[in-house]
């Protein structure tokens, strides 16, 4: 198979009438179905400065010309014969902990570019590949017409196509985290999006095509036409869908460390069985997004609290935020899912509906808040709201110090008991009754109490005894 380039083919008509130069004849198919060539075999220096079309010329039992109007290499997709820079679509950026590199998410290209901040150059573009939805635990609900939650496996390859990315250093190792929303290239002059029911599937690869393409199964799901016809015979041998409906932890070289699988759909279905995969612009929309990227993970944030690391992922469609413990990146675990959307509200333009369309999420450490609590804050595009959620149960460095070293004095006391660390406290008796309380203070008036044994209790429930004389 030859890899060709042409400077006079305009993307229309018979490509064999154009002038093609051979970049390399050392292109081979790898076991994974990708095209590879020997290092150093391709030199495009003579073609710099103008746009060019590229093509593959397959040599099997017959011959055939390549098509320069659309090409794809290792799951980095480029439309047309424009130059690479014009086809890249930067979406989000994250900075490494040592400030040496910026990692730029190229959403529609399904890739991440690495930008060297010291010399201002792009050093790599990492293809993200796809998620295999045929594997148990990596399924999805693909139909908005079956009137039921049906998260199952399909012979689909979900392109990650992340929106937001962020970075974290855990144990000296840098990781990239992505919210895998998915997005199609849909322009005035070009659109790659089509429903599975409207394409021809290869009968050998998909002998059950009629069943698969039924609207109550996979027929309604949106797929890309930019890849999948591996033998150029006009039907699809592979099915690529938009978004992985998950979040992923990557190495800085683009390898998957962890993916949340189908847990976003599974957990949101448990929480909202009657509103599963709803859109964000109306209620009473059960399964409205099952055929089109599902919950759409949009935003992602990381937090370092004490000796723990957490990820927070905002869902654009059904809404809400997922929380994962990522302290052990390869074995990240689900913690909770919160969503303050009220699905019973008919008029979604009223404030009572809650939040619609999470666009971003940030974490605020307890050291930065006036009440000493941890918060996540979401901005919500459709409802136009900003909401703060207090996170209970996290133990940070300040809280660890309190647990170890806070004390009450003098003990015994006579009228006022003092605490070594300012905070929220209650005085309780042996029966657990609250007799006094203070907020953001380090002393408590107990003059009204009888002589005896009492306890100071902090906001986490820890107690220390004191004697009032």
Mean pLDDT of 366-394: 87
Q: Are strands 157-159 and 240-242 parallel, antiparallel or unpaired?
A: parallel
Span 344-365, mean pLDDT?
A: 92
Mean pLDDT for 285-292 is 96
Q: Please provide residue 455's backbone torsions phi and psi, each rounded to the nearest 5 degrees.
A: -135, 140
The DSSP code for 247 is E
> In the structure, how many helices (H) and strands (E) does the chain have?
4, 32
Domain with CATH 2.60.40.3080 in the chain: 406-468
For residue 21, give both structure tokens: 């130069």
Q: Which of 84, 88, 4, 81 is nearest to 42 (CA)?
A: 4
3-state secondary structure of 342: coil
CA distances from 357 to 108, 182, 266, 321, 383 (A): 20, 15, 20, 11, 7
The answer to whether residue 37 scores a pLDDT higher than 50 is no
Residue 79 clears pLDDT 60, i.e. is over it: no
Q: How confident is the model at residue 138 (pLDDT cuts 50, 70, 90)?
A: very high
pLDDT of residue 83: 56
Residue 403: count of CB within 10 angstroms of its CB: 12
Q: Which is higher by pLDDT, 355 or 180?
A: 180
**When comparing pLDDT for 277 and 66, which is higher?**
277
pLDDT tier for residue 73 given thresholds of 50, 70 and 90: very low
31 pLDDT tier (thresholds 50, 70, 90)? very low
What is the model's pLDDT at position 271? 94
Alpha carbon distance 319, 295 (integer Å): 8
| Extended strands (E) in 392-433 | 408-409, 416-428
Token pair recorded at residue 73:
């290499």
Task: Supply the DSSP string of 95-126, one letter for each residue.
Answer: E-TTSSEEEEEEGGGTEEEEEETTTTEEEEEE
Q: Does domain 406-468 have CATH number 1.10.150.20?
A: no
pLDDT at 378: 92
* pTM (two decimals): 0.71
More confident residue, 293 or 28: 293
Highest-pLDDT range among 297-301, 368-372, 425-429, 450-454: 297-301
Is the pLDDT score of 276 beyond 90? yes
Is residue 155 pLDDT above 60, yes or no? yes
Q: How confident is the model at residue 84 (pLDDT cuts 50, 70, 90)?
A: low
Dihedral sign (CA 457, 458, 459, 460):
negative
pLDDT at 61 over 90: no
Q: What per-residue confidence (pLDDT) applies to 465?
A: 82
Q: How many CB atoms lie within 10 A of CB 261?
A: 19
Gyration radius (Cα) of the chain, Å: 28
Model confidence at 430, pLDDT cuts 50, 70, 90, reads confident
Tokens read off for 213: 């393409």
- Confidence tier at 194 by pLDDT (50, 70, 90): very high
- Is residue 410 reached through a cis peptide bond, with omega within 30 degrees of 0 on the bond before it? yes
């Amino acid at each position: 198979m030859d890899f060709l380039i042409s400077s006079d083919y305009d993307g229309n008509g018979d490509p064999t009438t154009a002038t093609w130069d051979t970049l390399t004849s050392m292109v081979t198919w790898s076991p994974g179905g990708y095209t590879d060539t020997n290092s150093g075999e391709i030199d495009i220096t003579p073609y710099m400065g103008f746009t060019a079309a590229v093509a593959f010329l397959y040599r099997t039992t017959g011959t055939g010309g390549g098509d320069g109007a659309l090409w794809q290499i290792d799951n980095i997709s480029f439309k047309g014969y424009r130059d690479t820079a014009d086809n890249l679509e930067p979406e989000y950026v994250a900075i490494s902990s040592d400030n040496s590199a910026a990692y730029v998410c190229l959403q529609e290209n399904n890739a991440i570019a690495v930008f060297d901040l010291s010399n201002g150059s792009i050093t790599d573009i990492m293809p993200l590949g796809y998620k295999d939805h045929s594997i148990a635990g990596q399924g999805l609900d693909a139909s908005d017409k079956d009137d039921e939650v049906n998260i199952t496996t399909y012979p689909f390859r979900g392109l990650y196509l992340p929106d937001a990315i962020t970075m974290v250093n855990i144990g000296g190792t840098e990781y990239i985290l992505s919210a895998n929303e998915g997005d199609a290239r849909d322009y005035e002059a070009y659109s790659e999006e089509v429903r599975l029911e409207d394409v021809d599937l290869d009968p050998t690869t998909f002998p059950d095509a009629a069943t698969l393409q039924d609207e109550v199964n996979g027929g309604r799901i949106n797929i890309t036409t930019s890849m999948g016809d591996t033998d150029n015979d006009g039907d699809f041998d592979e099915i690529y869908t938009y978004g992985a409906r998950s979040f992923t932890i990557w190495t800085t070289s683009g390898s998957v460390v962890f993916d949340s699988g189908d847990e976003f759909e599974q957990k949101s279905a448990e929480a909202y069985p009657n509103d599963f995969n709803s859109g964000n612009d109306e209620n009473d929309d059960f399964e409205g997004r099952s055929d089109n990227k599902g919950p759409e993970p949009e935003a992602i944030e990381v937090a370092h609290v004490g000796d723990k690391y957490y990820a927070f992922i905002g869902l654009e469609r059904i809404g809400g935020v997922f929380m994962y413990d990522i302290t052990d990146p390869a074995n990240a675990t689900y913690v909770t899912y919160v969503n303050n959307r009220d699905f019973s509200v008919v008029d979604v333009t009223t404030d009572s509906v809650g939040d619609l369309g999470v666009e971003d999420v940030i974490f605020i450490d307890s050291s930065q808040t006036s009440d000493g609590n941890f918060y996540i804050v979401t901005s919500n595009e459709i409802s136009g709201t900003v909401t703060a959620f207090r996170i209970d149960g996290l133990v940070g460095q300040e809280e660890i110090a309190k647990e170890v070293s806070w004390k009450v004095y003098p003990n015994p006391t006579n009228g006022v008991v003092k605490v070594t660390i300012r905070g929220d406290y209650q005085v309780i008796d042996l029966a657990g009754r609250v007799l006094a309380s203070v907020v953001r203070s380090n002393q408590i008036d107990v003059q009204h109490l009888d002589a005896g044994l009492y306890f100071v209790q902090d906001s986490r429930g820890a107690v220390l005894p004191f004697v009032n004389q």
